[in-house]
């Protein structure tokens, strides 16, 4: 059964109580909420965080974007093996504590890219957009010097090293798509940008622990049929992001979840058909009245609204 989740900070605040009030008791702990120390987690730090949540009746379902993997590993630089060893211990620690899903990405140099975070949407709410025409030139980052195939080699090396440890620890990995899912951003190559790319990833190590973070908006920007793509990946989806965009990988705008081009009821039906029983969270929500847009896509009101919408869709699916 689909498990509704919300990004929550690692220490209690009002968002914890709001989550429980809307019936959500699964937390996604995200790098955006952690700060610069997210790669320094050890068993004691993780356990302390888990104790906070458990004492308040919340379970940590996913750690996302805040794992000890950096461009050192993505680019195959000196120190990669030490970083991978740290990641393996992180997996063992998560497994020991019952944190069973990790979301990571392979976006080197430039991560989540947007060119405007003040796009007016319904009722004056604000969303974000990406337009490649507004990001000209080449980045000076060292990632611009690697090739697509070198990124592939580094990802394959990483997976061959860590997936066996993930299996032993009982921790599922979910690779997030490149956002935007282009061949390059400012001259920096990207490789996790198509269904075919994911098929290659999943073939590197054929294991349920080597899986997909199905970020719906990125797959929509790829131009695929989102429900059919959910069926394509089936039980290799370990985590999902509920969002939608209008446009393609070169130019798109985030939409309200009920106003985009994707049939969201069909999406929920597809998750049900494949037996997806992992966490799914609303992503890149509009900034609403009274919010300052200082953290675009991640303010609270839109997330609470989205949970209600998602629950309604799930109830519709379950009643048929």
- Residue 152 is encoded by which pair of tokens? 């592939």
C-alpha torsion 147→150→152→153, nearest 10: 170
For the chain, give every domain's residue range: 3-319
Tens place of pLDDT for every residue, the chain, 320 residues?
799 999 999 999 999 999 999 999 999 998 766 555 555 688 999 999 999 999 999 999 999 986 778 999 999 999 999 999 999 999 999 999 999 999 999 999 998 999 999 999 999 999 999 999 999 899 999 999 999 999 999 999 999 999 999 999 999 999 999 999 999 999 999 999 999 999 999 999 999 999 999 999 999 999 999 999 999 999 999 999 999 999 999 999 999 999 999 999 999 999 999 999 999 999 999 999 999 999 999 999 999 999 999 999 999 999 98
Which pairs count as long-range contacts for 192-196, CB under 8 Å and 24+ apart, including other chains?
Answer: 192/105, 192/106, 192/107, 193/222, 193/249, 194/222, 195/219, 195/222, 195/224, 195/229, 195/232
DSSP 102-143: EEEE---SS-S--SEEEEE-GGG-EEEEEEGGGS-S---SGG
Q: 3-319 belongs to which CATH class?
A: alpha beta
CA angle, 66 then 68 then 74, to 5°:
105
Say what the pLDDT of residue 320 is. 83
Helix axes 148-169, 195-204, angle to 10 degrees: 50
């Amino acid at each position: 059964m689909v498990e509704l989740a919300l990004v929550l900070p690692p220490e209690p605040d009002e968002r914890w109580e709001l989550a429980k009030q809307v019936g959500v008791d699964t937390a996604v702990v995200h790098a955006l909420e952690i700060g610069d120390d997210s790669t320094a987690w050890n068993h004691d730090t993780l356990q302390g965080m888990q104790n906070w949540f458990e004492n308040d009746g919340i379970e940590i379902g996913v750690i996302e974007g805040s794992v000890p993997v950096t461009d050192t590993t993505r680019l195959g630089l000196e120190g990669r093996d030490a970083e991978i060893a740290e990641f393996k211990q992180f997996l063992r620690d998560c497994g020991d504590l019952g944190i069973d899903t990790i979301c990571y990405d392979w976006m080197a140099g430039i991560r989540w890219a947007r060119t405007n975070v003040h796009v007016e949407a319904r009722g004056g709410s604000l969303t974000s957009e990406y337009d490649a025409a507004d990001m000209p030139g080449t980045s000076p980052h060292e990632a611009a010097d690697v090739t697509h195939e070198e990124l592939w080699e580094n990802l394959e090396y990483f997976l061959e090293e860590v997936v066996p440890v993930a299996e032993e620890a009982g921790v599922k990995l979910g690779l997030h798509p490149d956002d935007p899912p282009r061949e390059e951003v400012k001259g920096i190559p990207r490789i996790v940008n198509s269904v075919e790319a994911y098929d290659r990833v999943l073939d590197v190590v054929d294991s349920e622990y080597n899986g997909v973070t199905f970020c719906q908006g990125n797959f929509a920007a790829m131009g695929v049929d989102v429900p059919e793509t959910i069926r394509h990946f089936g039980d290799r989806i370990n985590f999902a992001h509920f969002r939608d965009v209008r446009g393609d990988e070169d130019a798109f705008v985030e939409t309200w979840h009920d106003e985009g081009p994707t049939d969201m009821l069909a999406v929920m039906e597809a998750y049900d058909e494949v037996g997806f029983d992992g966490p799914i969270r609303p992503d890149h929500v509009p900034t609403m009245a009274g919010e300052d847009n200082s953290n675009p896509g991640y303010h609270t009101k839109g997330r609470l609204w989205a949970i209600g919408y998602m629950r309604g869709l799930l109830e519709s699916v379950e009643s048929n």
